[in-house]
A and B are shown apart, each in its own frame.
Chain A
Amino acid sequence: MFHKLCKLLVIGLVVTGCASHTPYQDSLDKAFAELEDQASRTLAGVTQGIDIDSLTKFKMVVFPKAIDHHVKMRKYQSIDKNLLSEMDEQERDKYIDSKTVYHTPLTFNFNVLKKGLCMNLVKTKKYATHLFFGGEDFDSKIKCMVLEVKKEVPHFFGKRIMDLKKDDILRVRVYLDEYLRPYGHSVDYAVKQGREPYRTENIKTDKRENSSSGLSMYPIDLPNFKNSSVVNKAEDSVPLPRNLFLIFSIKSKVKTPICKKAKLFEHKDILGNIVESSWCDKQNWPTTIENNRFFAVLK
């Protein structure tokens, strides 16, 4: 009997040792891990959410990153990937940071159009709050808001210069609660070149996800504080890219030093891209947001 058990044990060990994870199995494991995260429901560390009442108008400056995967001649690509493997993680970050090219900064104006108890916003129709917040089972104390984001248009001798083309985004309205759970967004697109008639797309989002800018430059990539997959990293100084042009540009547009210590969060957007945000103490909006498309800083 004892020998039989030993045999079985040895066979079991051999089989387990030989079993290798296939790509299918690896992907399944990721799916199960995500399910575990959803089930555990631990908060990301900011248990009180943001103070919606104190939010009104503010601005963010966005520095778009130049990505050039599609460029064929290697000499025009900013980052030499052959060098990356020889570096450790810190050197790699430093190198990538220093080589990342940024386009001309854009300024986005944020304006809270409406705010209040979510239960009350469900009953009103202005800004279609009944549509976005309707059907949800809200706690009586939770607050919600409608936040409008518009790209600042440059002026030339007092006149706005609008280089609008068809399907350009004119403005985005984001529907959030105090934990930054996204209930949807409403996007106005230009219909004609150079004019302001627009069409509106209302898109419902899953409030379990994180708010995402998708394929746009609008800095609305926010961590959902009720989403347990949002990683709360140790407090540190506000992470600024090491690009000298950027640092100089930030200093000319934003009050510096920004803050000595900030809470840092990391999450994935709906397309699987990593987003990092930092929050200075007592601030009700991310101080910085960084993803593969841009670096944004609160003005």
Chain B
Amino acid sequence: MKNITLTLLFLFSWQLNAEMGTFESTNTNFKNLFNNHRIGGPAVAPWVGSWWAYKNNGIDFGTSENPQVTTKVTPPSVKFDKFHNIRKKNTSNWEKDNHTCDKLDEKQKKSCQGWWGHCNAWAAAAIKEDEPRKSFVKKGIKFTVADQKAIITELYMENYSLFVGNTDKSIETENEWIFDKNHKKSKKIINRRNFTRYDGFWDVTPKAFFLILTNYMGLKKVGLVIDRFTGDQVWNQPLAGYRLLPIDKDSIKKPEVKNGKKVYPVLLKANIYWAEDGVWEHEISDPFDYEKDTNDNFYLGDYEVNHHYKGRSLAFYLFFDSPVRVTSDGKLVKKAGRIVGDGVWFHQTDEGKKIYVQNKINFDDTHPDFIWFPTKVNDQSGRTYRNPEVNSERVSGILKLGREPTPPPAPEDKKFSCTYELTGFFGNRRKVLSSESSVSYGKACDEAAAKCRGLIRGWQRCRRSR
């Protein structure tokens, strides 16, 4: 009688726990984030565009819609001036005076001609605005795709943004100092609290990288921009998606022990994908699906996914406070502890450094130097980084700004990842005998539930553990 009462009480509390509800989203739970957001990306892929280089005077650079024609045509800045009837101190002249390499000293000119331009603005615009895909005529002026992209890009030269990661762009990367925190170049302070140049090179930390990708792009489906040049240059690229690669058994390392405490290292690999900006001004983006167009392979060095989107593979260690267990294919985490510490980039370790050097991978093409989230255009900035004639009101007068709403995913498209446990009684205690995990679309856990129920014998039961 006592046993039956205890059993009933146990079953009741077990059922109550199951009804408490589970979250699909958690912001730091590694198992949950990996299983639910192993692959992720923004709701709409960012579009490709020109970075409107300063060597060509920014948006005061006109190209024909016919790629065979190389003679210059009316640039976007002149069309903008004509539309708004801006005469003397106009957009075009301002671009020639400010978004140019001509007025810089020799040292800066060389750098400027290499990579200065509007990439920060284009990256933000590519995330926040719909891609112009057709020319139109307004007030008798034809605005081509290039013109529209140029105007929107210029608008975003001043935007509100939220950052992760510190940086010092005043020094070139050299293996000498980036791997030696005690080198005189490494020890230079670049921020508060004795934050050094060495610290600035090696952040964004792996933990922050993992949490930002999964929380923002995976969970919230919002766009992010990275500076893909780890060193002294700034190459802003809008991210189009990411993949956390399956965790193979060799990546789960033996625990490290210190003072009776254990830390469990796991080597993770991730692919990130971004939209390109070294394209023809009139280019319209090829479609990009971060799930269907990418794979789980790890590549050393940047690679092309297609003509408009590129990828990069990164590896990093994260440390956990308890063991990590994965399914045989490495695509699901069965068990994981809490992430402790910030992790370490694989290419920062002795082993990783050796592989990267042997394969001649430039350390400037590794982890993002910083990651940022553009929010909206800033029309109140006091500085003249953006062309002062270009503002939201004027741009809205020419073309429609903003993204069309994307419909929420149909319930059938919602992905579930869950585990069913087969439990049985041993004496008075219920114990887990085995578990089945699955990732399914539509109805939650059908596959895992069916597999589990197929194993039931006698008083055994299946319960959903997550």
Determine whether the beta carbon of B208 is less than 8 Å from that of A272: yes
B109 within 8 A of A: no
Determine whether the beta carbon of A72 is less than 8 Å from that of B403: no
B144 within 8 A of A: no
Determine whether the beta carbon of A28 is less than 8 Å from that of B341: yes
B residues in contact with A34, CB < 8 Å: 340-341
8 Å CB interface, A1-46 against B = 22-24, 26-28, 30-36, 38-39
On whether A72 and B216 interact (CB within 8 A), knowing A165-B403, A193-B402, A203-B27, the answer reads: no
B227 within 8 A of A: yes
Determine whether the beta carbon of B25 is less than 8 Å from that of A166: no
Determine whether the beta carbon of A72 is less than 8 Å from that of B116: yes
On whether A201 and B219 interact (CB within 8 A), knowing A23-B344, A272-B208, the answer reads: yes
8 Å CB interface, A169-226 against B = 184, 189, 191-193, 199, 201-206, 208-209, 214-217
A-B contacts counted at CB < 8 A amount to 190
Determine whether the beta carbon of A76 is less than 8 Å from that of B216: no
Determine whether the beta carbon of B378 is less than 8 Å from that of A103: yes
Q: Roughly how many angstroms separate A146 CA and B227 CA in the complex, as a whole number?
A: 38
Minimal Cβ-Cβ distance residue in B for A84? B189
B residues in contact with A214, CB < 8 Å: 27, 215-216
CB distance from B35 to the nearest CB of A (A): 14
Contact mask for chain B residues 210-246; partner A; CB cutoff 8 A; 1 contact, 0 none: 0110011001101001010000001010000000000
CB distance from B384 to the nearest CB of A (A): 8
A residues in contact with B234, CB < 8 Å: 69-72
Determine whether the beta carbon of A70 is less than 8 Å from that of B372: yes
Q: How large is the interface on B (under 10, 10 to 19, 20 to 34, 35 or more residues)?
A: 35 or more
Q: Which of A38, A69, A92 contacts B372 (CB 8 A)?
A: A69
B residues in contact with A192, CB < 8 Å: 405
CB distance from A124 to the nearest CB of B (A): 13
CB distance from B34 to the nearest CB of A (A): 15
Which of B79-87, B145-153, B158-166, B300-308 sits within the interface? B158-166
Determine whether the beta carbon of A81 is less than 8 Å from that of B190: yes
Q: Roughly how many angstroms separate A81 CA and B170 CA in the complex, as a whole number?
A: 8
Determine whether the beta carbon of A89 is less than 8 Å from that of B340: no
Q: Roughly how many angstroms separate A270 CA and B215 CA in the complex, as a whole number?
A: 11
Minimal Cβ-Cβ distance residue in B for A33? B341
Which of B15-23, B70-78, B421-429, B442-450 sits within the interface? B15-23
B66 within 8 A of A: no
Determine whether the beta carbon of B349 is less than 8 Å from that of A202: no
Determine whether the beta carbon of A23 is less than 8 Å from that of B378: no
On whether A203 and B26 interact (CB within 8 A), knowing A27-B341, A31-B319, A85-B188, the answer reads: yes
CB distance from A176 to the nearest CB of B (A): 15
Determine whether the beta carbon of A272 is less than 8 Å from that of B205: yes
8 Å CB interface, B1-52 against A = 17, 20-21, 23, 25-29, 43
* A-B contacts, 16 listed (Cβ < 8 Å): A23-B202, A24-B317, A27-B344, A28-B256, A28-B263, A31-B341, A69-B169, A69-B372, A84-B188, A85-B188, A92-B189, A166-B403, A166-B405, A201-B219, A206-B27, A272-B205
